[in-house]
Amino acid sequence: MDNSSVLEHPVWMEIEQESYQLKLDYELIPYKRDAGFRAPDELKKVHSLGRSPLLELEDRETGKKKILAESGYIFQYVLNHFDKTKSLGNEDSDKSEEIQYYLHYVEGSLQPPLLIELLLSMVQTAAIPFPFSYITRKVAEKIGEKYSRGEVKNQFDFIESQISKNCGYLVDGKLSAADILMSFPVDSAFKRQFADPKQYTATDKWLKNLKTLDSYKISKNKAEAYGEEC
């Protein structure tokens, strides 16, 4: 896991929640980023890209190891290989495909405009000398106005509609891996005021319900023990 996230939320918490819900044994290994949010050399030794989170699997019989990267793929792999009772998946093939879709949607559609909004907010508060500060902030404001702000609204309107028509969850009216993975960017967006929870009441209620789960509370406590603010 990476013990520091640029979005002020330990993304590995979602993978830990999934593991807890499936009653899997696991070990957390923290890696702290440097002041520039770059991966430490130790993490790059595990995976050359130095990205997080990572999941390392070891076959106890053969000793063969496998390193998995990308949150959506990690969730998909765990569901396919360890969720034998479909507790975070779904017995219905169509519903199962919906869950798989969301695992890709989170990073493919939702995260990009949120990341742009984050970068633009960092430009607005950066220590840039005048007159360059005026120019860069005006450019940042235009980018947000013309693209990312509207795209964030588009994504949250979609999420709100899906939760509203699925009885408070993303798929089939019950908790799935899609809900757990989606909680990270939604929570980050609300905290950074990229989206207003008052405008997305179903999504806000959904997120608050997820935070009552034992898996969330346990993961949150572990994150705070590592120095994270959740």
- For 168-210, what is each residue's pLDDT tens digit? 999 999 999 999 999 999 999 999 999 999 999 999 999 999 9
Among 86-90, 107-111, 192-196, 226-230, which is the least confidently predicted range?
Answer: 226-230
- Write down all domains in the chain, each with its CATH number in brackets: 12-88+216-225 (3.40.30.10), 93-214 (1.20.1050.10)
> Radius of gyration over alpha carbons of the chain, in Å?
19
Q: What is the pLDDT of residues 55-76, one digit of tens each?
A: 888 888 888 989 998 999 999 9
pTM: 0.84
Sign of the alpha-carbon torsion through 66, 71, 76, 79:
positive
Q: Which range is least confidently modeled, 46-50, 86-90, 160-164?
A: 46-50
Identity at 119, one-letter amino acid code? L
Long-range own/partner contacts, residues 89-96 (CB < 8 A, 24 or more apart): 89/176, 89/177, 90/171, 90/172, 90/176, 92/172, 95/171, 95/172
Q: What is the pLDDT of residues 1-11, one digit of tens each?
A: 333 333 344 55
